[in-house]
Structure 1
Amino acid sequence: MLHEILLSLSGQPSPIFEQPAKDRGSAQDGFPLLSPQEKALLEPIARLSRLHGLLRVHSAHISSSHPSTICRAASTTIATEYLGSFQEKILEVERSILGKDAGYVGGYGIVPLSTVVGEFSPWVRKMEWLWDTSQFMLPYVAKDAKTKGTAAGSGCSGAALIDYLRTESQTGYTDVEEISLGLIKAAEAAWMRQLSVFILYGHLPSLGREDFFIQEGPSSGDRRVNTADFQLQPDLVPKFVSRSTATSILFVGRSLNHIRARGKFPAGEEAKHSSSQMTLHGEFIRCLSSLTSPISMISLANAISEIRLSLSHTVLSQLLPLHKIMEVLSLLHNFLLLGRGEFAMALVSHADERISTKHKRTYQATSVEETLDVLTLKESEVSTVLTQAWTELYSIPNAEDPVDDELDLARSLLRLSIEKDTSISKDMKSANQILTYISDVNFSDILLGSPTTLSLHINPPLDLFLAQSDMIVYSKIHSYLLGIRRGQMRLGDLWKRTSLRRVHPSPWGPPMSNKPGGRANLKLGRERQKKRAALMRRVWASGSAALFVFSELGSYLQGEVIGSSWRHFKGWLNGGRPQSSSGQGSRPGTASSTNTLYHSHDPETINIAHRTYLAHLIQSLFLTDVPFTRTLRALIAHVDRFVSLLGQLQTIQQNLDLETDEGVFDSLQDYSQDEARVWAEVSTARTSLERSMTDLIARLRDIDDHRITKGATSLDASTRHVAPELRWVKGNEETLRGRQENNIFVPWRAAGVDRLLMRLEFGGASADDNAADGLDFGGNTVFEE
C-alpha cells in the first residue's frame, strides 16, 4: 500500500484512489479500497497525487506552446525546480522507509500512515498555489476521462504574470513567498533577456516579440533605410517599470537602431565611434547585470538612466547635436506657431486668391461634373498655395540677413497637404497622451475650405526627437492660430473697401455742380449716401467690435502665451534654466554671470521637456477647452459669412449706382430687390456675429472663474492619471527652484485669462447683451436713427 501511495504521488495512476472528472484533484466519491478512517487520512495525499499529475501535463503544455517566453520560463521553473523538489521529497521518504529510519518505521516494521501524510502535508498548499499560478498563465479546461485536458485561449502576458507573482509574494505564507520569489526570478530573467536585446542592439527579441512592451509600428522616416519605428504598448509594461523608464528604454533602443542603420560619420570618425560603441556595450551589460531579482523600480530607473546618459554624451552628441534640435524647434515656432507673421499673411492671402479663382470658375462651368471637378480641392492646388507663399517671403528684402537659411530649411521640410482623415487613431493617442485632451473641434478646413494640414517632414535622425504624434499637435495648433489670424485679416480688409465707407468716386465738382442738373444729381447722391451710411453704422460697429476681439485674442495668444513660453523653453535649452533679464547686462566675473551655469541636456531629457512644453502650450491656448473652441469656430464661420455678404452688398450697390448715374442697365438682374435681400441677410449675420462674440467672452469668464474658484486649470484635472511630466508643477517657490536646480524643465505659466479679459473690458466688450447693443467693442457709442 505504501508503495502504491508513493507511486501515486509521483504521478502514476493507482487503483487506490478514484480519479474524479474534476480539476484540482477534489475527491468526491471516496476511495473504494480503503476504510473510512484511512480514506479521511489519505485525502491530502490524493489531492497531491492529482495536482501533481495535472501540473506536469499543464506545465509541459505551457512550456511548449505559450506565446510568452516569460510564461514559458516560469512554467519550466515549476516543472524542473518545484515539481522536481517534490519528486526528490518522495524519493527521500522512500529511502528512509526502505532504510528502516526510526523517524518513519516503528516497532515490528510498521510505518504509520499519519507519519507519511505529515511529511507531505506542507506540499498541499504549495501545489494548490502552483496550480492556481499555472491556471493564471493558461486556463485549463478539463475533458472526459478518455481525453486529456486542454488549454483555453492564449493565456496571459508576461507583464501580467510578473505583476501577479509580485502580488502573491506578499500573501504572508513563507513557503508561498519563497516559491513566488523563485518564479519571479525566472520570469524577470526572461524579461531581462528580451530587454537586453533591445537596449544593447536596438532589435526586438526574436522569441516572444509579441509579448514585449515595445512593438514595431509603421515607419514615418526614410523607407529606403532599413530602420523601424517603435512604439510603447502600455498594457505590456510591468508595474515595476515606470512610464518615464519605459520611455527611456524606447529612446535608447530607437537610438541604437538609428546608429546601426543611419549613423554615418565622417572619414576618420567611424572607427572611433565603433570602438566607443563597443565600450558602451560593456557599460550597458554592467548596468543591466547589477540588477537583482526582484527588480526594484528605482534601481531599474537608475540603470536605464545611466545607460541613456552614456549613450547621449558619446555617440548621440555627434548624431543629434543640440544646435540641430534648436534649429528645428525654432523653425516650428516661427512657421507652425506663426512666430513669423508674414508667413501666415502670405499663406492666407494666396489661399483666399485660390478660393476666389475657384468660385469664378464655377460660374463658367457648363455641367455638373465640371462644377464638381472645379470645387474639388487637389493636391497640386494646395502645393501651389504654399509655393506662392514661399515666393512672396523670398521677395521681402531683409537688410540684416540677406541669406535666410531658416527660410530655405523651412521650404525643404514643410509640407501643406490635404488631410485625409481628421480623426486621431488610438495608437497615436497612446503614443502621445497630449492628443487625448485636445478638443476635437476642427480648424483645418478654414484655410482652403477642405481639411488641410501643414506639417514638417521629419528626416532622420530628427525622428529620435520628434514623433509623428508631436507633428499632429503642432498642426492642430497651427490651424487654430491661423483661423484666428485669418479672421482678423478678413475683418481688417473691410476697411480697404472704399466704396462701402465713403462716397466713391467723389461727387461732381464745378462747373458740372453749378448747373441745375448737376445740383439735382449731387442732392440725390447725398441722400442715397446718407441712407446707406445710417444703415452701415451698426454694421461697422459690429465689424469693429469683432476686429477688436480677434486682435486682442490673437495678441494675447501669440505674445503672452506662445512668445513667453518659447523664450522660457529656449532659455532652458541654452543654459539649463530660464534666462533672466536681470543677468543679461552683467560684466564677466560678476556674481550674476558666474551663477548661470551651463547644463548639457541629453536628447531624451529634451524630448520630455518638449512634450511638457507642448502640453502646457495647448492648455494656455485654450485648445483643451471644448466649449471655447466650439464657440470660436462658430465665430470664425460668422465672420466669413459677414464679410462675404458685405462683398455682395458692395457689388450690388456699385451696379445700382451705374444704373442710376450712368444709365447702365442689366435686364437679367433686379439689383434693388437683391439689395433688400442682402441687407436682411447682413442684419441676420451681424446679430449672429455679436451673439458669438458675447458667448466667447462669457466662456473666457467661465474659464477665469474656474481657475479662481477651483485653484487649478483644466489640464490639471484632465492629466490626473497621466505621466507626471504632463502636469502643472504644484507647490511653493522652493519646490519650483528645487526642480530647476535638478535640471528639470518647469514650464512657463501664463498670467491667466484675467489679463485678456481686462483688455476686452477696457475696450468696451461685455458679455451683457444690453451693453453690447450700445457699444462697438472699441469704446465708441453707437447711435441709431
Structure 2
Amino acid sequence: MLHEILLSLSGQPSPLFNTEKGEDSITQDDFPLLSPPEKALLASLGHLSRLHAQLRKQTAAISSTNPSVICRSVSTAILGVHLDEFQRKILEVERAILAEDSGYVGGYGIVPLSTIVGEFAPWTRRMDWLWGVMQFIQPDKNCGDNSHGSAGAALIDHLRVEAQTGYLDIKEMALNLATAAETAWMKQLSMWLLYGNLPMYGKDDFFIRQDPENADEETQFSMNPRLLPKFVTLQTASSILFIGKSLNHIRAKRKTSIAGASTAPVTLYREHIEQLASVQSPISPPKLSTVVDCIRLSLSQSTLSKLLPLPKILEILTLLHNFFLLRRGEFAVALVSHADFRINESRRRGATMPSGVSGKLEGIAIKEGDVTSALAQTWAELFSLQKEEDPPDEELELARELLNLSPSSGKNGRPMTPAQNSNLISDISSVSFEDILFPTPTNLTAQIRAPLDLFISNSDIVIYSKMHSYLLGIRRAQIRLGDLWKRTPLRRTHPTPWGPPKSNSPFGQAKLKAGRERDNVRIRQMRPVWATGSACLFMLSEIGGFFQGDVVNESWQHLYQWIKGCSYSSSAPGSRPGTASCSKPQINSKTASPGQTPAKDSFEADQETMGRHDPEALTVAHRRHLESLVYSLLLTETRFTNILRGLLTNIDRFAALVIRLETIQRNMDLETDEGVVDALVDYASEEREVWEELSVTRRDVDTGINTLVTSLRDIDDSRSGDGRGLTSGQLWPGSHKDDDTPGFSHYVPRKAAGVDRLLMKLDFGSLRSGFGPDMTTGPAGLQ
C-alpha cells in the first residue's frame, strides 16, 4: 500500500482513492481492514493526490490553449517549477524509505503512515493555493459566467496581492509566479517600445491594440485601461502609447515614401535595451516611469524632432484656437451670415415655419449640401477680404483644407487615449449647442493628418467642436440682437411732411395727426422691447467678452509662451502674461550636451525648446489646457448651460418676432397711407398675434436673464472654496506631477479669471444703464 500511495501522489490513477465517491472517501471494499485513523490520514493524502493530478491537467490545458502569454507563462512556471519540486519531494521520500532511513523506517521495517502524511502536510496548503491561482486564470465553466478566463494584467495584480501573506512558502511561490508573469509582460512591452509592433502572441491581452474601424486607413492605436497592471500609471501608459505610435508611424512612412524621399531612420539604441533590461521584478512604478520617460525623451530628441517639429505643432494649435475658439472673429460673423442665408433660402423653397411668425426653425429642412455650401461661401468671403498686396494667408488656406462643417452623425470620434480625455468629455454638460447655427445639429471638425495625430487625438477635436458650438451660439445671439438696432423704422420715425396744398387741407392735417399718434403708440410699445434687447445684448457681450478675453485668449497666451520657452510673470496668481519680460529659454542640464550655448537661429531655438518640451510633454500640456478651458468656460455646469441654451432659443425667437413685426407694420402703413391692399392677409390680426407672442417672449427673455445671473452667483459660491483655481505649483485635479521625471517640463494651466469678475461687470452695467434684473414691467400695451 505504501508503494500505491507514492504512485498516487505522483499523479497516477490508483484504486486506493476512488474519485467517484467524493474527494475524501476511501474505498471500503478493497481495504476492509483500514481503521478510522488510517482512513483519516489517507484522506489528506488522497486530497493532495487529486490536486496534483488536476493541477497537471489544468496547467497543460492553459499552457497550450490560453490566449494570454502571461497566463501561459504562469501556468508553465507552476508546472515546471512547483509541481516538479513536489515530484522531487516524492522521489526524496521514496529514496529515503528504500535506503531504510531511520527518519522514515522504524523497527521491523515498518513505515508509519503518520510520518508520510507529516512529510507532505505543508504541500496541502501550497497545492490548494496553486489550484486557486489556476481557477483565477481559467475558472470552471460551471462556477460562473466568467468562463473566458482572466486577463494577464489582472493575474499580475492578483499575484502581487497574494504575496502579502504571513506564509513564507506562499509568499515565495507568489513572487516566483509574479516574476514569470511580469517577465512575459515586459517582453510584450519591449516589442512595442523598441519596434512599435504589437506582440505577435497574446496581443489581445496587451493594453494597446489596433483600431479595427480604421483598417483601410492609416493604422491607429488605442489604449484599454482595463488591461493595465496596477503598477503602470496612466501617465506612463500614455507615454508608452505615444512611443509605439511614433515608431509605427515612422516605419509606415518609410515603407510608403517615394524613391529619393528622405525619412528619419529608426535606430535601435543599445541604451534603450539596457534600460528595459534594468527593470526587474517586482516592477516598481517609479522605475518603470523613469525608463519610459528616458526612452521617450531620447526618441523625441533624435527622431521626432524631425518628424514632428515644434513649428508644425504651433501651427495646428494656432489654427484650432483661431477658428474653433473664434479668435478670428470674421470667421464667426461670416459663418453665421451665410448660415442664416441658407436657412432663408430653405424657407423660400417651401419648408416654411408654421404660421410664419414664431421664429422657430424646427420645420425647416436643412440638407447636408446647404451646410457645406455655407462653409464654402464663408471661405470665399474671407479670401475676398484679402488685398492683392497682402501676403497669402497660409493659415486660411490650411483651415479651408482641414476644417469641415457637417451634420452630426451621432457618433463622435472615439478618443485614442481614453484614460486622458474620455473623462473630460463625460464631464462636459450634456446640453447641446450644435443646433443653434442650423436647425440640424452640425459640428465643425478638423481632419488631423499624420504625424500630427500623435499630438492631437480625436477626443481633442470633439472637445474643440463642443466649445466652438458653445461660443458660436453666444456670438450668434449677439449678432442677431445687434442687427435689430440697424432697423431704423423700428427705433425712430422720420415722416416726410406733406407739402402744401395737402398739408393745409383738413384731410392732410388729419392724416398727419393720425400718423404721429400711430408712431407715438408704436414707440411707447417698443420701449420695453428695446430695454429687454439692450439688457440682453449687454449681458451677452459681457459673457462673450469674458469667455473670449479673460479665459480663452489669456489661457492661449499662457500656453503659447510656455511652449516657446518665455518666462512668465508669477508675481500674483493668475496675472496676465508679460510679453516684455520674456527671457531666453534656459538649457536643461539633463538633456543638453556639455558646452551647448543658446543659439540665435530660430530653428536651433525650436530644437532647444523641443529638447525641454518633447511631443509627449506638449500633448499632456495641451490636454491640461483643454481641461482648464472646459472648466473656466463653465461647460461643466449643467444648470448654467441649460439656462443659457434656453435663453439663446428665446433670443432667436425674440429677434425673429421683432423682424416680423417690422414687416407687418410696413405693410400696414402701405395699406393705410398708399392704398396698397393685400386681400389675402389680415395684417391687423397678425400684428395683434405678434404683439402677444412678443410680450410672452420678452418676459421669457427677462426671466432668462435673471435666472442666468442667479446661476452665475451659485457657481461663484460653489467654486469659491473648491481649490480649483491655479496658483504657482498647483495642478488641476486629475493631473499627474512627476517631479523626478528626467527632462519632463510640466505645464500648469493658467488660473483664469473667476466668475466674480464677470458678476461685477454685470452688476455695474445694470446700475449704470438703468436696467437690470428687476426690469419686469412695461407699458400696458405689452402686458
Contact 1:560 1:750 survives alignment (8 Å): yes
SS class of match (1:454) = strand
Tell whether the 8 Å contact from 1:361 to 1:374 is kept in structure 2 after alignment: no
Q: Does 1:419 align with 2:402?
A: no
Residue 491 of structure 1 corresponds to: 481
Structure 2 CA distance for partners of 1:123 and 1:210, relative to 1, 3 Å: same
CA distance in structure 2 between the partners assigned to 1:693 and 1:83 by the alignment: 76
1:437-493 alpha-carbon deviations (Å, 9 max, x no partner): 011111111111111111111111111111111100000000000000000000000
The amino acid that maps onto 1:698 is: T
Structure-1 residue corresponding to 2:221: 230
Q: Which residue of 1 aligns with 2:136?
A: 136
1:179 is displaced (CA, Å) by 0.6
Per-residue deviation at 1:254?
Answer: 0.7
Q: 1:42: Cα distance to partner? A: 3.2
Distance in 1 separating the partners of 2:320 and 2:444:
11
Q: Distance in 2 between matches of 1:177 and 1:401?
A: 75
- Alpha-carbon displacement from aligned partner over 1:373-399 (angstroms, at most 9, x marks no partner): 994322222111111111111122469
How far is 1:428 from its partner? 8.2
Contact 1:67 1:208 in 2 (8 A): yes
The amino acid that maps onto 1:240 is F
Which letter maps to 2:653? R
1:672 aligned to 2:684? yes
Of the three residues 242, 253, 258, the one matched with 1:262 is: 253
The match for 1:336 among 304, 324, 340 is 324
Give, in angstroms, the shift of residue 29 of structure 1. 8.2
Distance 1:363 1:49 in 2: 82
Alpha-carbon displacement from aligned partner over 1:272-326 (angstroms, at most 9, x marks no partner): x43xx2343x333222111111111111111111111111111111000011000
Matched, 1:357 2:345: yes
Summarize the alignment of residues 440-519 of structure 1 with structure 2, pairs less than 5 Å apart.
440-503=430-493, 506-508=496-498, 512-519=502-509
What is the 5 A alignment of 1:744-763? 744-763=746-765
How far apart are residue 360 of structure 1 and its match? 1.4
Cα distance in 2 between the residues matched to 1:739 and 1:68: 32
Moved more, 599-608 or 691-700: 599-608
- Following TM superposition, by how much is the alpha carbon of 1:423 offset from its aligned partner in structure 2, in angstroms? 6.8
Counterpart residue identity of residue 711, structure 1? D
Report the 3-state secondary structure (helix = DSSP H, G, I; strand = E; otherwise coil) of the residue aligned with 2:376.
Answer: helix
Aligned AA (2:248): N
Unaligned 5+ runs, structure 1? 144-149, 366-371, 717-723
Q: TM-score, normalised by structure 2?
A: 0.88
Between the aligned partners of 2:739 and 2:5, the Cα distance in structure 1 is 72
Summarize the Cα distance change of 1:505–1:171 in structure 2 as closer, same or farther, 3 Å threshold.
farther
Q: How far is the alpha carbon of 1:133 from its aligned partner?
A: 0.7
Q: Provide the residue aligned with 1:193 in structure 2.
A: 187
Residue 58 of structure 1 contacts residue 140 of structure 1 at CA under 8 Å; is this kept in 2?
no
How far, CA to CA, are the matches of 1:524 and 1:88 in structure 2? 118
Tell me whether 671-680 or 206-215 shows the greater mean CA deviation: 206-215
Identify the match of residue 156 of structure 2 among 152, 162, 166: 162
C-alpha spacing 1:110/1:19, structure 2 compared with 1 (3 Å): same
Partner residue, 2:620: 608
Letter in 2 for 1:212: F
Query: Equivalent residue for 2:100?
Result: 100
Equivalent in the alignment of 2:294: 306
1:719 aligns with none
Within 2, Cα distance between the matches of 1:712 and 1:288?
Answer: 39
Distance 2:483 2:411 in 1: 30
* Deviation of 1:770 (Å): 9.4
> Are 2:196 and 2:243, in contact at CA under 8 Å, matched by a contact in 1?
yes
Alignment equivalent of 2:733, drawn from 727, 730, 733: 727
More off after superposition, 188-197 vs 645-654: 188-197
Tell whether the 8 Å contact from 1:441 to 1:626 is kept in structure 2 after alignment: yes
- Displacement of 1:611: 0.6
CA spacing shift, 1:75–1:202, aligned 2, 3 Å: same
Residues 282-291 or 83-92, more deviating = 282-291
Q: Which amino acid aligns with 1:175?
A: D
Q: Secondary structure at the match of 1:15?
A: coil
- Residues 659-706 of structure 1, C-alpha deviation per residue, up to 9 Å, x if partnerless? 111011111111111111111111001001111111111000000011
Cα deviation for residue 17 of structure 1 reads 2.7
**Structure 2 counterpart of 1:147:** none
1:760 shift after superposition: 0.5
- Which residue in the other structure is 1:325 paired with? 313
Measure, in 2, the Cα distance between the counterparts of 1:736 and 1:158: 27
For the Cα contact (< 8 Å) 1:136–1:156, is it kept in 2?
yes
Distance in 1, Cα, partners of 2:155 & 2:738: 39
Contact 1:159 1:236 in 2 (8 A): yes
Distance 1:725 1:217 in 2: 32
Pairs aligned (count): 744
- Tell me which amino acid in the other structure corresponds to 1:551: S
Q: Does the CA-based 8 Å contact 1:706-1:712 persist in structure 2? A: no
| Matches of 2:661 and 2:287, distance apart in 1 | 73
Compute the displacement of 1:422 (Å). Answer: 6.5
CA 1:505 to 1:453, structure 2 compared with 1: closer, same or farther past 3 Å? farther
- Give the partner amino acid of 2:240: I
**CA-CA distance at 1:37 after TM superposition:** 2.1
TM-superposed CA distance for 1:607, in Å, is 0.5
Q: Give the counterpart of 2:211 among 211, 217, 226.
A: 217
User: 1:354 Cα deviation (Å)?
Assistant: 0.8
- Distance (whole Å) between structure 2 residues aligned to residue 118 and residue 195 of structure 1: 45
Deviation at 1:585, TM superposition (A): 5.6
Going from structure 1 to structure 2, the CA distance change for 1:774 and 1:681 (only over 3 Å counts) comes to: closer
Distance in 2, matches of 1:142 and 1:336, equals 55
Moved more, 378-387 or 229-238: 378-387
Closer/same/farther in 2, CA of residues 235 and 488 from structure 1, 3 Å limit: same
- Residues in 2 aligned to 1:769 and 1:171: alpha-carbon distance in whole angstroms: 72
1:181 paired residue number = 175
SS at structure 1 position matched to 2:766: coil
The verdict on how the C-alpha distance between 1:783 and 1:742 changes in structure 2, with shifts beyond 3 A counting, is: farther
- 1:80 maps to 80
**Could you tell me how far apart the structure 2 residues matched to 1:132 and 1:199 are?**
34
Q: In structure 2, what is the Cα distance between the partners aligned to 1:363 and 1:410?
A: 32
Deviation of 1:738 after TM superposition, in Å, equals: 12
Residue matched to 1:368: none
Residue 579 of structure 1: CA displacement?
Answer: 6.3
Counterpart Cα distance in 2 of 1:392 and 1:567: 28
User: Which amino acid is 2:223 matched to?
Assistant: L
How much has 1:96 moved relative to structure 2?
Answer: 1.4
Change (3 A) 1:619 1:771: closer
Conserved? CA contact 1:18–1:32, under 8 Å: no
Provide the C-alpha distance between the structure 2 equivalents of 1:657 and 1:751, rounded to a whole number of angstroms.
51
Alignment partners' CA distance in 2, 1:70 and 1:741? 33
Please report how far the alpha carbon of residue 773 of structure 1 lies from its aligned counterpart in structure 2 after TM superposition.
2.0
Deviation of the 1:119 alpha carbon? 1.6
Distance 1:662 1:141, change over 3 A: closer
Which position in structure 1 is the counterpart of 2:722? 711
The share of aligned pairs that are identical, in percent, is 50
Question: Aligned partners of 1:561, 1:347: CA distance in 2, in Å?
Answer: 23
Distance 1:572 1:736, change over 3 A: farther
TM superposition score normalised by structure 1: 0.88
- Cα deviation for residue 344 of structure 1 reads 0.3
Q: Is contact 1:139-1:155 (8 Å) kept?
A: yes
Aligned partners of 2:393, 2:695: CA distance in 1, in Å? 47
Out of 376, 380, 396, the residue aligned to residue 369 of structure 2 is: 380
Aligned-partner residue type, residue 14 of structure 1: S
Secondary structure at the aligned position of 1:496 is classed as coil
User: Distance in 2 between the 1:179 and 1:740 partners?
Assistant: 36
Q: 1:748 to 1:676 in 2, by over 3 A?
A: same
Partners of 1:214 and 1:250 within 8 A in 2: yes
For residues 77-103 of structure 1, what are the alpha-carbon distances to aligned partners after superposition, in whole Å with 9 as ceiling and x for unaligned? Answer: 111111111011111111111122232
**Alignment match, 2:592:** none
After TM superposition, give the deviation of residue 518 of structure 1 in Å. 3.1
- Higher RCO (C-alpha under 8 Å, 6+ residues apart): 2
Question: How far apart in 2 are the matches of 1:519 and 1:414?
Answer: 62
Alignment match, 2:267 = 278
**Unaligned runs of at least 5 residues, structure 2:** 354-360, 571-576, 587-596, 599-604
- Report the Cα distance in structure 1 between the residues aligned to 2:621 and 2:651, rounded to whole angstroms: 37
Per the alignment, residue 243 of structure 1 pairs with 234
